Amino acid sequence: MCDTIINIVNIVGKEVVRTVVGLIGVFIVVIGNAIMLTWAERKVAGHMQRRIGPKEVGPFGLIQSFADSVKLLGKELLTPANVERPLYFLAPTLIFVPVLVTFVVIPFDGFLQVKDINVGILVILAFSSLTVLSILIAGWGSNNKYSLIGAVRSVAQNIAYEIPLLLSLLPIIFMANSFSLRDVVEAQKGLWFVFYQPVAFLIFFVASVAETNRTPFDLPEAESELVAGFHTEYSGMRFSLFFLAEYTNMFIVSAIAVTFFLGGYQGPILPGVVWFFMKTYVLVFVLLWFRWTFPRVRFDQLLNFSWKILIPVSFLNLLVTGGILKL
Amino acid sequence: MRVVADIIKGAYSLIVGMGVTIRAFFSPVVTCQYPRETINISPRFRSHTKLVGDPENPDRTKCIVCGMCERNCPSNSIKKIEGEKKEGEKKKTATSYILDFTTCSQCGICVESCPVDALAFSSDYNPVGFRREDFHYDLVKEYEKRKKTA
């Protein structure tokens, strides 16, 4: 049995096997994370409003999200009349691609990483900006005013917040001297970067909340104004792909924050992968916490906050970091 | 300078808000898991009316079949109040008292107008039925049923 496996690995090549196995692992993490987070979100929402949340299906309602996903899978795929058909079909698929690709470079543990690319963070930032494209496609293709308004808002918002996102990561890249995520983690052996760069961490976290389109920056899908924003016309499995992408994006931004500021998989006693997931889910909890605390910002406030506060402050932070490193 | 002060004040308010929600997160829930548990119905709760038993003679209700409630009912929900005079008693005893709960609005005029205080509101908060006739209550029969279970 073992010999056959080794033979197969030798025939197809180690790199291919590693990628395939890695992608399967990524798929499992993505699906498991989304299922767990939908449950966690409803549970957290419940307790923050002093309710219980899901409790009927399974112990503590744990199987609720399975039941929901079965329901969504079984639904008829409705295609509204007069939609831009190719674009309408493309958008839910397209939103899922960047989500999968970004997982490839995240180091879950010292050796638990699908591929360590030496420009890892650039890959993540480049692909995560594809999300906004698929939101735009979904909004445009739906032939619905609410979808379109949501999509247009999303574009303006994502452009505004991608800049501070990148600018807040640059000082870390200065300090670690590398774009590779594993090098960044290894550079935090002594002290986590959050202690050197608290301002950058704050800016990154705020910008990443905006990037994932979550409250208080959930203008693209603002329920109270736009029905459901860009995914108004989507139902069944197509809707659940958007949903899946949102929850996976939450995981990804938290994972990047952990990798860049909170020491990644480093920690005493427990294995690295446990530390990594623990830190990531603490940040995910903070995201949920934000959602059930803060009201939605107005659109001018949103853009003013990014262009007038976050970007100048992150530039200043970058400048100071560069100056100090030069000295 | 004012901008900086605004930012600090705003950031502080965000932290205060997060404190409120996290305290709510760790405090006990206040909801009642309805089908699994129920709360006590307050004594002033108004459901359909019920006939009150006579404290001197538990076999009969206080109702003397005068028909005041029937005459005063604004939606004509009370029908067919009948009674008979039993041997050795001064007053009539009700044998039938039909309340049409589908048109009753729980106004309480019948309760107030009853000269012998024979009517009261019950605390039956979840009546269900498949037919309209399920809500045509015979309060005398209900009283007898209550007496049996008590």
Of B7, B21, B33, the CB nearest to A292: B21
Q: Which helix (H) or strand (E) holds B52?
A: none
pLDDT band, residue A85 (cuts 50/70/90): confident
Please give the C-alpha separations between residue A246 and each of A27, A211, A303, B62, B134, in angstroms, as whole numbers. 15, 10, 21, 67, 50
Please tell me which residue of chain A has the smallest CA distance to B24: A48
ipTM score of complex:
0.72
Q: Which residues of B, range 32-91, sit inside 8 Å of A by Cβ? A: 33
**pLDDT tens digits for range B76-131:** 888 877 888 877 777 888 888 888 888 888 888 988 998 888 888 888 888 888 98
Closest among A34, A48, A51 to A292, alpha carbons compared: A48
**Whether B22 and A289 lie within 8 Å, measured CB to CB:** yes
Tokens of A323: 């100056």
Report whether the peptide linkage leading into residue A59 is cis, meaning its omega lies within 30 degrees of zero. no
Of all residues in chain A, the one with the smallest CA distance to B22 is A48
Tell me whether B22 touches chain A (CB under 8 Å): yes
Kindly determine whether residue A47 and residue B25, on different chains, have CB atoms separated by under 8 Å.
yes
Predicted local confidence at residue A1, as pLDDT = 67
The A-side interface with B (CB below 8 A) comprises 44, 46-52, 55, 289-290, 292-294, 309
Name the minimum distance, in Å, from the CA of A305 to any CA of chain B.
Answer: 10
Q: What is the pLDDT of residues A148-194, one digit of tens each?
A: 888 888 888 888 888 898 888 888 888 888 888 888 888 888 788 88
* Residue located via tokens 């119905």: B41
Which pLDDT band, with edges at 50, 70 and 90, does A79 fall under? confident
- CB A175, CB A325: distance < 8 Å: yes
Contact between B21 and A309 using a beta-carbon 8 Å cutoff: no
What are the pLDDT digits (tens) for A108-133? 877 777 777 788 888 888 888 888 88
Give the residue from B87, B83, B124, B84 showing the smallest Cα distance to B104. B124
Q: Which of A277, A288, A293, A247 is nearest to A44 (CA)?
A: A288
Beta carbons of B24 and A52 less than 8 Å apart: no
The CA distance from A315 to A253, in Å, is 21
Report the chain A residue with the minimal C-alpha distance to residue B11: A202
Q: Which residues of A touch B29 (CB under 8 A)?
A: 46-47, 50-52
The DSSP bridge pattern shows strands B78-85 and B119-121 to be unpaired
DSSP codes of every residue in A186-246: HTTSSS-HHHH-HHHHHHHHHHHHHHTT-TTS-GGG-HHHHTTGGGTT--HHHHHHHHHHH
Minimal CA separation from A54 to chain B, in Å: 11
B21 to chain A, any CB pair closer than 8 A? The answer is yes
Retrieve residue A189's tokens.
Answer: 């052996």
Q: Which residue of A has its CA nearest to B13?
A: A294
